[in-house]
Structure 1
Amino acid sequence: MAKTPDFGPGDLGRLFTQRHAEAVRDLGRFNLAVFGKTGAGKSTLINAVFGHEVAATGTGPPITAGLQFHEHPDGILGLYDSQGFETGHGGDAVLAGLEHIVTASRSEPVERQIHAAWYLVRWSDRRFEDA
């Protein structure tokens, strides 16, 4: 029968720190693409993740143009902030650009690939739209 390891005060924290350091060493930087409609809060979310303003925000006309890359100062997180898109108003071009970056990143070292994507929905939208 396998023995359950004994953990003393602080052991769990040290184990977590050790495993986290190993994961960072093996992966390098984790890259996340954030996209959604204009005004959904993509840049605001990115600023919240970083804890300070790295992406310009505003109300009214779109602020972000194309895809902007932001790297966290500790180097373990990279975020792609995308231009907002609306059905029939450049959304296809934004999605094509994102698809190109994701596809092109597959041939790069793992720390330069896009590992996940978040799609933001405005809180006031009652439902998803048809594709």
Structure 2
Amino acid sequence: MKQQKPEADPVRDRGGPSNGNLQPTTDKILQICPRFRILVIGKTGVGKSTLINRAFGVTAAVSAHYRPGEANIETELTSPENTLFVLHDSKGFEPGEDTNYEAAKRFILSRRSGALKDRLHAVWYVSF
């Protein structure tokens, strides 16, 4: 009688890719880029600051609740529990008003070069 091979347990089996298991690459990524920078943009009142506070455990983003907030796009917001993410809260976009849009555009352009940890890596657009 042929002996059956035990089934692979992907949770316990930490072998390499040759056995079909995917390996996390975060350690390699964090060696290259130790901080991941995210700009949060959207209309006024959609919950940008609330998202930052709740999703990332940041308490410095001030929610304005459906009125223009006092966010400073240059301020780095980080969670005490996880400093790998750096967030930037933008002021909300209003119809017919382009000052906040232009500030976000300048911020994005200014973060295209320089040290990798200081660059902008993602833009998170928040909408209803």
Structures share fold, TM-score greater than 0.5: yes
Q: CA deviation at 1:107?
A: 2.4
Q: Deviations over 1:9-31 (max 9, x none)?
A: 1527xx43xx3222111112111
Quick one: structure 1 residues 21 and 93, their matched pair in 2 at CA, closer, same or farther if it must change by over 3 Å?
same
Q: Which of 70, 74, 96 is the equivalent residue of 1:88?
A: 96
Identity of aligned residues (%): 32
Match of 1:28 in 2: 34
Q: Does structure 1 residue 69 correspond to structure 2 residue 76?
A: yes
Q: Which of 98, 102, 110 is the equivalent residue of 2:104?
A: 98
Q: CA deviation at 1:65?
A: 3.4
Q: Deviations over 1:42-74 (max 9, x none)?
A: 001001122252311132532233414312333
Measure the CA separation in 1 of the matches of 2:43 and 2:123: 14
Q: Which of 47, 50, 54 is the equivalent residue of 2:56?
A: 50
CA contact (8 A) 1:31 1:113 kept: yes
Q: Which structure has the greater CA radius of gyration? A: 2
* TM-score, L = length of structure 2: 0.73
Higher helix share: 1
Q: Which runs of 5+ in 1 are unaligned?
A: 1-5, 123-131
SS of 1:78's equivalent in the other structure is strand
Q: Which runs of 5+ in 2 are unaligned?
A: 1-8, 16-22
CA RMSD in angstroms, aligned pairs only: 2.6
* TM-score, L = length of structure 1: 0.72
